Structure 1
Amino acid sequence: MGRERDLDPNVSPRAFFGSELRRCRKRIGLSQPQLGERTTYSPDMIGKIERGERPPSPEFVAQCDELFGLDGHFHRLYQFMLQTPGPAWFTRWLEEIEPRATVLRTWDPLLVPGLFQTEEYARYVFRGAPGITPEEIEERLKIRMRRKALLEQEPLPMMWILIDEYVLQRPVADPEAMSRQMRYLAEVVQRPHVTVQLVAASCVTGMMSAFMIAQLPGGQPDVVNVESSAEGRITADHEVVGHIWSRYDTIRASAYPEYLSRQKIEEAIPIWERRAGST
C-alpha cells in the first residue's frame, strides 16, 4: 500500500477528489484497509485515489456517498472531475459555494465577469490560454455557460459587481463580438437583483487581482475566491476575508454611480458597432 503523504488539493480536480476522500475516511476513523473492506476497491487502489494518481470508478463513488452519508457529494465531485478542465479550487467554488450564496460581490479588473460573458466572448478568452486545444476550449465553454444558470435560479442571489471601466474598451474579441457582448451586458444590468458599477481605471487598489465574496445563508461565514492567471484560493479565514472586504470597499469608493455605469455600458455599444462597420 502506498505511503500516505500530504496532498495539495489545488493541483487538479482528481487531487481534490482524493483529498476529500481521505478527509471523510479519517473523519469516521477508517483506515484504507477498512475502507477497502466496505467497498470494491483494494487498499492499494484507495491509496492511489487519495494521492490523485488514479481516478475512481462510478461504482466506488456511489459506495462512498452511501458509506459516508453525504447525499451525492462525491458524485458531484466526480462529475466536475470529468467535466472541469480547470483547477480544483474553482471546482469547489462552482459546486459548493456559488450556488448557495445569498449575495455575491465580485471585482474584475481585466474582463467582463464570467457570469456575464457571452459564449462568443468567452471563447476568445479561452483561446488565449497557452497550448490549449480546441477540445479543451469547448469543455471550458460548457462549464462557463452552465454556470450562467445561476442568473435564473430561485431564489436569486443579489449580485454587486465591480468592473474596471477599461474592460468596456479592451478588444478581447473582434468588434462584432464585442458589440454583442456589450449589448448582453447592458441587458443583464437591468435585472433587479444585479447591480453593476464601473470603477475608475485610476483605482490602484484594484490592480492586484480579481476576487469574489460569497455571503452564505444561515449565519455561515463569508467565503472569498481570490483569482490570478495561474492559481486561486478559496477560504473562509477571518483575516483573509476581512482583507478582501477592505479591498472591495476601497475599490467601490472609486466606482461610478449605478446609473452612470449603465450609461457608460450603453455608450460602448455604438462604439464597437462603428468599429465593426469600418473593418
Structure 2
Amino acid sequence: MRRLREAAQLSQASVAARLGCTQAQVSRLEGGSRTPSKYDAEQLDRLFGSGGSTHFADLRKHIVARPGGPAWFIGWAEEVEPIALVIRSWDPLLVPGLLQTESYARHLFANGPRATPDEVEERVQARMRRQRILDKEDPPMLLVLIDEGVLRRRVNGPEVMREQLGHLLEVAQRPSVTVQVVDPDCTAGMLGAFMIAELPIGQPDTIHVDSSAEGYVTADHDLVTSMWERYEAIRRWAYPDRMSLKMIEEARQEWT
C-alpha cells in the first residue's frame, strides 16, 4: 500500500480523505497494525488498482480469516472501542454486546446459522474479551439506549434473562455506564442498531451500523452526522436513569 501510494504521489492524509478515516489509521494500515475494513479494501482497489483489480479485497480476506467474530466487526472491536472516550449505543432488539452475560451471548451465537460448538465458544470468548474495556482504570463513558421490548424478549430461558437483567442493573451502578430504556412507541430507532464512538482529539467520531447481513464501520462525516441526529431523536424517547433501572428490575422479577 505504501509503495503504491508513493508511486501515485499521494500523502497519507490524501488517502485518509478518500477512505473517510484519519491519517493515523492509514499509517496503521500501511504498517500492518490495523485490520482493513471491507470498505477500506474496496476503496484501495479503486484508488490503486486497474482493470477491476481486487488485490486489496483478496488480501483482506486472508487477514480476517480467523475466529472471534465477523470480519467487518474486527476493526471496531480492536481499534475503535479500546481508544474511545465515549461510546453511545442503541439497540432495538437485544442487550448490546458490551453488556451481555456469557449465557446470553452463548445462546445468541449457538442459534446462529451453521454455528459449530467451536465457533460458538470462540465468539463467546471474543465477546467477553471485548468487554474488558469497561474494566480499565480509565474506561470509556458508555451510554446505552435499549428498547423496552428487550427486557421481555426471551433469550434462552427465565434464568438467563434474570441473570442478564441483573447484570444490567449491576453495571449501571458504575459511574462510567448509563443505561436508559426507550419507550416502544419510538419509531426513530426502528431502522436498526448502531454505535457512535467519540475518539481522542484529532480523530473523527466513528460509527458502527448493524444489519442482518453485514454491518459497517465508518468515519464518513455525512453518515456520522446522520447517526448523531438519529441518536438524539431516539434519546428524546428515553426514560430517566432512575425510572429505567426501576423498569429493568420490574422486568427481572417477571422472569420466574
Scaled by the length of structure 2, the TM-score of the pair is 0.77
Distance 2:60 2:243 in 1: 52
CA positional deviation for 1:256:
0.4
| 1:54-65 pair list within 5 angstroms | 55=62
SS at match of 1:224: strand
2:68 counterpart of 1:84: yes
Structure 1 equivalent of residue 167 of structure 2: 184
Cα distance in 2 for partners of 1:54, 1:245 equals: 31
* Equivalences, count: 215
Report the CA distance between 1:221 and its aligned residue.
1.0
Equivalent residues of 2:37, 2:217 under 8 A apart: no
User: Structure 2: how far apart are the matches of 1:239 and 1:15?
Assistant: 21
Partner amino acid, structure 2, of 1:154: E
Deviations, residues 238-276 of structure 1 (Å, cap 9, x unaligned) = 11001000000000000000110011111122111x2xx
Q: CA deviation at 1:82?
A: 2.6
The one-letter code matched in structure 1 to 2:77 is: L
Matches within 5 A, 1:115-126: 115-126=98-109
Q: Distance in 2 between matches of 1:236 and 1:182?
A: 32
- Report the equivalent of 1:106: 89
TM-score after normalising by structure 1? 0.71
Per-residue deviation, 1:53: 8.9
Q: Distance in 2 between matches of 1:189 and 1:14?
A: 32
Q: CA shift at 1:154, angstroms?
A: 2.7
Asked if the contact 1:14–1:52 (Cα under 8 Å) also holds between the matched residues in 2, the reply is: no
Equivalent positions of 1:64-83 (< 5 A) are 81-83=65-67
User: Offset of 1:14 from its aligned partner?
Assistant: 9.0
Q: Does the CA contact (< 8 Å) of 1:15 and 1:50 recur in 2?
A: no
Q: Which secondary structure state, in structure 1, belongs to the residue aligned with residue 189 of structure 2?
A: helix
8 Å Cα contact 1:198-1:256 kept in structure 2: yes
Distance in 2 (CA, whole Å) between partners of 1:92 and 1:219 is 19
Q: Which runs of 5 or more residues in structure 2 are unaligned?
A: 1-33, 49-53
1:238 aligns with 2:221: yes
Cα deviation digits, residues 18-55 of structure 1 (max 9, x gap): x77x96xx99xxxxxxxxxxxxxxxxxxx978624984
What pairs up with 1:1-279 in 2 under 5 angstroms? Answer: 51-52=58-59, 55=62, 81-87=65-71, 89-272=72-255, 274=256
Q: Percent identity?
A: 48
User: Larger radius of gyration, structure 1 or 2?
Assistant: 1
Judged with a 3 Å threshold, the aligned counterparts in structure 2 of structure 1 residues 50 and 199 are, in CA distance, closer, same or farther, namely closer
- RMSD between aligned alpha carbons? 2.6
SS of the equivalent of 1:214 reads strand
**Letter of the structure 1 residue corresponding to residue 85 of structure 2:** T
Of 240-249 and 129-138, more deviation after overlay is shown by: 129-138
Q: Which runs of 5+ in 1 are unaligned?
A: 1-12, 28-46, 56-77, 275-279
Letter in 2 for 1:164: D
Query: What SS does structure 2 have at the residue aligned with 1:202?
Result: coil
Shift of 1:176: 0.8
Q: Greater relative contact order: 1 or 2 (C-alpha under 8 angstroms, separation 6 or more)?
A: 2
3-state DSSP of counterpart to 1:196: strand
The answer to whether the Cα contact below 8 Å between 1:15 and 1:51 also exists between their aligned partners in 2 is no
Question: 1:109·1:207 contact (CA, 8 Å) conserved in 2?
Answer: yes
Output one character per residue of 1:158-190: Cα deviation in whole Å (capped at 9) or x when no partner: 111100011000001211111111111110111
C-alpha distance in 1 between matches for 2:135 and 2:166: 19
Q: CA deviation at 1:151?
A: 0.9
Mapped contact 2:67–2:119 kept (Cα < 8 A): no
